Amino acid sequence: MTDFFELAQSRRSTKVYDPAVEISESELTGLLAVAGRAPSAWNLQQWHFLIFNNEDTQGRLLPIAYNQQQIVESSAVICVLADLEGHKNIDPVFDPSVAAGEMTPELKEILAGQINGAYKREEYPRDAAILNSSLAAMQFMLAAKSSGWDTCPIGGFNGAALMKEFNVSSRYLPTMLITIGKALKEARATDRLPLESIITFAE
């Protein structure tokens, strides 16, 4: 297994993939299972993964993603959907813990009160959905790199058109697309801002 720091330093956004390489459904879902272990507010897991892993669906996605060739040349594309109704996960997330004796019913009720209160705030559902689904997206990309796959997050696509074409529920908001496959061309190296320009010690 690759050292985490080496992994984080070496991961780059791949734009040119080998179209002959396929990824098995089992490996893809295995990586998504790791993505689903990402942290989330109250463990509500505010994400859903829409998978494009065949010629038909990737072809239909192509114009929605402004004809970026990596959509059809990659082995698969994942659309990370942000769950705007994460509070509906209270029972499926907490009930197993209560049944296992890992959480008291009283604690569940306290947490449910906090969650329902937060979801009544106008901006919270969208902000929480995007924040938490982005954590899962990054975890997916690191898991993929650790397994020898290359990825690229894509923000350039028509979210409304994607939802219409693929019948995505209004419960969800497309956060990003992520292509995954084997690089045919080495990803371009990119520089980073100097560390001192991105950190401030609070006083």
| pTM score | 0.94
Domains of the chain, start order: 4-197 (3.40.109.10)
CA distance 62 to 10: 28
% residues pLDDT > 90 (the chain): 90
pLDDT for the residue numbered 9: 86
pLDDT for the residue numbered 138: 97
73's CB contacts (< 8 A; 6+ apart) are 16, 17, 18, 19, 181, 184
pLDDT of 1-59, one tens digit each?
568 898 888 889 999 999 999 999 999 999 999 999 999 999 999 999 999 999 999 99
pLDDT for the residue numbered 188: 82
pLDDT of 93-134, one tens digit each?
999 999 999 999 999 999 999 999 999 999 999 999 999 999
pLDDT band at residue 185 using 50, 70 and 90 as cut-offs: confident
The rounded radius of gyration (Å) of the Cα atoms in the chain is: 19
Contact of 52 with 180, CB cutoff 8 Å: no
pLDDT for the residue numbered 1: 53
Measure Cα distances from 32 to 10, 60, 130 in Å: 21, 22, 17
CA distance 141 to 32: 10
CA distance 179 to 195: 29
